[in-house]
Structure formats: structure tokens, C-alpha cells
Structure 1
Amino acid sequence: MHGLHLTADLTDCRCDPAWLTDAARLGAYCRSAVADVGLQAVGELFHSFGRPDESAGPAGVTATILLAESHLCVHTWPELGAVTLDVYVCNFGGDHSARANALMQGLQELFQPGHVQSHRLLRGQPASVDS
């Protein structure tokens, strides 16, 4: 159950706007990025959100890849120039932390954020006991 959970909130993204609105394009990138860092995709879902009033511009997308090691989720808000990233790897059978870090770094580079708020959580660590 030991694992690494990385999250990042990206704002002021300066990437090509299509990365924030095109689910198929973003999904293909995520699929490739997962393979490039050596993680194993076992399922995927890429979804474009619609707006009742199309004059408000395109809505965001969610790209989710289920990994043998756990998951990757990307959520975009094009109207805000914002993205949230979530990479979690279980380290059962081997330490996948370097792969998770590389995946997160590549995604951040794709979106070219002006600001990043990131968090790193070690999951399933034994509780410390104070004596």
C-alpha cells in the first residue's frame, strides 16, 4: 500500500489553448507520457464537458488513465487558464516514485503554468509511535 501521491494546481497556463479543450489530444499526450516514463496504462477515459451556452467558449476536459501502479487524472478549466494534476503510484513490487515525478514534471511543462501549487504525500506509511 505504500505509495506516492503528487498533486499540482496550475494557473496562468500559457500553453496552446487546445491542450485545455481537446480531450482526444490531451488523452493521446497522457497515454504517451505514461508509457514514456515506464508506467503501465490499464484503462482510460477522456471526457469533454459541454456548456449550455456555447457562446461562453469551450469547456474543460478530464483525462484519466488507470495505471497498474494506480492513476493519473488531469482536469482543465480553459476559462480560468487552470489545470489540476493528480498522479498516484503504489510502490508495491518496486519504487515507482521517480516515474511519478517524471510524469508530473512533463505534464507541468506541457501546460506552461505561470504559477504552480504542488503537494507530495507519502501514502500508507507506518504510523510513528511516540514513547
Structure 2
Amino acid sequence: MQGLHLTADLYQCRCDAVWLTDAGRLGGWCVAAVSDAGLQPVNQLFHTFPATPRGPGGVTATVLLAESHLCVHTWPEERAVTLDVYVCNFGGDHSAKAQALMERLVARFAPEWTERRSLDRGDGAG
């Protein structure tokens, strides 16, 4: 088992607010971004949380991939987003596709700054 797990925490996102609050719009865009990156979506779930006294509810968008998953969580009241892209590299190395997908996701939200992490998973013994 081998894989690559990428995460990013996005702060002060400058995108249109709809990208932080509209599950259908964000989810549809995520499925297209996955396909454009050369990965294979196999299922999805998009959910908008109810508004709170602090503002509109955020969104969770999850796309299950043949290669593993993409998950996006938004906090519109803080203009923040967390991203999680994980690919298993069983049938081939999908690392470059995962990195391209992450770059596209970050660009969509236009954050003022990000904190990124990358984790190689598995023992490499194949």
C-alpha cells in the first residue's frame, strides 16, 4: 500500500461567498475538478449546514474516488476552508494528479494564506 495525503487549511478566502455556502455549486465544481485532474469520481455527498447566529452555514463536499477521496469543509463566517486530498497509488502513481487537484482547489478559494501538509502513506514495500 502506498499513497499521498495532501491537506491545506485556507484563511481569509477572497472567493465569492457562494463557494463557501452553496453545497450543490461547490460539489458540482469539485466533481469536475476531480475529472479534470485525471482522477475518477465514483460517488459524492454534498451537505450545507444550517445558519447560526454567526452567519450562514458552511458546506462539506466529499467526492469518493476510485483512487481514494477529496473532502472540502467551509466556514463562511471565518472565510476559511480545509481541504483533504488522498490518493492510493496501488495501480499507478497518482501523486501528480493529486497535487494538480490541490492547486486547483486552492486557486478556487483564493486564500490570503495557506498551511499545507503532505504525507506519504504506506511502507513502500508494495
Q: TM-score range by the shorter chain?
A: over 0.9
TM-score norm. by structure 1 comes to 0.92
1:25 counterpart residue number: 25
Deviation at 1:14, TM superposition (A): 0.3
Mapped to 2, the partners of 1:34 and 1:126 lie a distance apart of 25
What is the correspondence of 1:1-131 to structure 2 with a 5 Å cutoff?
1-51=1-51, 53=53, 56-126=54-124
CA–CA distance in 1 between the matches of 2:70 and 2:52?
28
Question: 1-side partners of 2:24 and 2:118: how far apart?
Answer: 28
Shift of 1:27: 0.3
Structure 1's consecutive aligned runs of 4 or more residues displaced over 4 angstroms after TM superposition are: none
- Partner Cα distance (1:83, 1:72) in 2: 13
Aligned length: 125
Q: Structure 1 unaligned runs (5+)?
A: none
Larger radius of gyration: 1
Paired letter, 2:2:
H
Aligned mates of 2:83, 2:94 — CA distance in 1: 17
Q: C-alpha offsets along residues 27-76 of structure 1, whole Å, 9 cap, x if unaligned?
A: 011000000011001110000000355xx421100000000000000000
Q: Distance in 2 between matches of 1:38 and 1:67?
A: 11
Root mean square deviation, CA, Å:
1.2
Unaligned segments of structure 2, at least 5 residues: none
SS at match of 1:99: helix
Deviation string, structure 1 residues 93-130 (Cα, Å, up to 9, x no partner): 10000000000000000000001000000000249xxx
Task: Give the share of equivalent positions with the same residue, in percent.
Answer: 66
